[in-house]
Amino acid sequence: MAVATGKFIKVCNEIKAVATDLVAVDATDGIKFDCKNYPNERVMFLVKNTEASNAKDVTVVKPSNGGYAAADADIVLADLAAGAEAVIWVETAKYANNDGSIVLKGESASVKAVAVVLG
């Protein structure tokens, strides 16, 4: 399989349901979010473990080809409980590669995610 392509939703003074916007990660390659339109922003990722009985790890992968402010370590959420949801907030300057992409990984395709931009 190939890296899955993540979706973005933009929220400004409103409430949005996101269930239909969640995209499953590729179990090997993760999910790529193209953040070129948000070069100096903070992006929030909503992740959900849709597994019925097993916890799964979720990782925001450090840039493999990042800019001067690039992070030097992954962000790891170990053991997101079955059925649980989490929010991850990152700065694009720290976690985006030079091509503007941020990659999330999960232990299996039961991990689903969507990016949220505020404003």
Query: What tokens does 109 get?
Result: 């395709």
Q: Is the distance from CB of 71 to CB of 59 less than 8 angstroms?
A: no
Query: pLDDT digits over 64-88, tens only?
Result: 998 888 999 999 999 999 999 999 9
Q: 89: which strand partners? A: 44
The C-alpha atoms of residue 33 and residue 5 are separated, in whole angstroms, by: 6
Query: pLDDT digits over 43-65, tens only?
Result: 999 999 999 999 999 999 999 99
The C-alpha atoms of residue 88 and residue 38 are separated, in whole angstroms, by: 16
pTM for this predicted structure: 0.90
Specify the pLDDT at position 2.
Answer: 65
The C-alpha atoms of residue 119 and residue 112 are separated, in whole angstroms, by: 23
